[in-house]
Amino acid sequence: MRSKNKTKNELVKAIIEAYQPETAKDVQDALKDVFSPIFEAMLQGEMNEHLGYVSNNKNEKQTDNRRNGYITKNVKTSMGEMTIDVPRDRDGSFEPQIIPKRTKDISDIDKKVLSMYAKGMSQRDISKTIEDIYGFKVSHETISNITDCVLEELNEWQSRRLKKCYPFVFVDCMYVTMRYEYETKESAIYTTLGYDINGKKDVLGIWLNETESKHSWMQIFDEIKQRGVEDIFFISMDGVSGLEDGAKEIFKGVIVQRCIVHLIRNSLKYVPSKDYKKFTSNLKLIYGAPNLKTAQNEFEKFKSTWSKYTGAVDVWKRNFKYVEQLFDYPSIIRKVMYTTNAIESVNSSFRKVTKKGAAKPQLTNLLSFYI
């Protein structure tokens, strides 16, 4: 390890002595000059492997093929454009791997950084991973500059045109810890998922909604409308405050449905675990009934059977209108609109991204999935 560090220190000292850098640009220019011979040395190693002998040891030659000079190639890197001499062989069979033929852009490191960032890795983890892979460090500032380059694309995605009609829209909330300059706090992230006429999923947008109100949701749905949506048939949601009134102000006649699965979870908070199975079985007889009359009869039995758990029963009393309205539609429609499970897989992916608290206020980590 000491030998390796000594070599690094000697290399740094040699670069400083040779280039006398005074600014960050000077350092970048020096690194470009250093990278060029590194790539060329790697290409020479590939040629040695291809031919079966090194250039100064032709006694080991076991092929009629031989070196045939170089071709100068300008390539784009994360540090700017640089010129590299790529070795050639006589019969043209050499296929370099480090810089493949016809490749002009070798700034894959930028893409790798963005990929790691989208997966929720911290800047420290990204820097360490890059060092492990490539053998050199990338500063936190450089990583920040790389990730900031996607902001324009993210803004374009968030404001893109949408389809004219989404029969089913699902809204779900996820709480994550967000960093705001020097402090962190928990914030609500709302994801809106739509199914178009052809049944194709489309994430309409992601919003940070700190204040849940009719006014804030009117703004969100008005934005969706301005982006091209003319009609929404059903919206399934988990008791989001202000959403129903806000949605109906913008999309007249839209049906807003409380998620039955979330209602079950909310009511189970008041039920001992030993009664979970029987309790949920009784509930299924209500929302899974073949018609409204049967559902109403089962609900009366449910209230009597579980009256000792007042809190659980009250959850269903307050929201039974959402159960009743399900039976205004065919069973095939009920199966789609009674739960927000369609969006659960999306939020599951988001939780992997934000589990380390790496999200930024601009939600770049989450949105990076969609550009």
CA angle 276, 279, 283 (to 5 degrees): 130
Rounded Cα–Cα distance for residues 252 and 171 (Å): 18
Residue type, 265: R
Taking the mean position of all CA atoms in its chain, how far away is CA 182?
24
**Contact by Cβ (8 Å): 194, 251:** no
pLDDT in tens, the chain (371 residues): 455 455 556 656 666 666 676 666 666 666 666 667 767 776 777 787 777 777 656 565 667 788 888 888 887 776 667 788 888 888 888 887 667 777 776 666 556 655 665 555 666 676 666 666 555 555 666 566 656 655 666 778 888 899 999 999 998 877 776 666 566 677 777 888 999 998 888 989 888 766 667 788 888 899 999 999 999 999 998 877 888 999 999 999 899 999 898 899 999 999 999 999 999 999 999 999 999 999 999 999 999 999 999 999 999 999 999 999 999 999 888 888 887 777 766 666 666 555 544 444 344 444 444 44
Cβ neighbours of residue 82 closer than 8 Å, sequence gap 6 or more:
32, 35, 36, 74, 75
The Cβ-side half-sphere exposure at 356, using a 13 Å CA radius, reads: 14
Between CA 338 and CA 267 the distance in angstroms is 16
How many Cα atoms sit within 13 Å of 303 on the Cβ side?
A: 11
Q: Which residues are 19's β-sheet partners?
A: none
370 three-class SS:
coil
The DSSP element (H or E) to which 236 belongs, if any, is strand 231-237
Bridge partners (DSSP) of residue 71 are 86
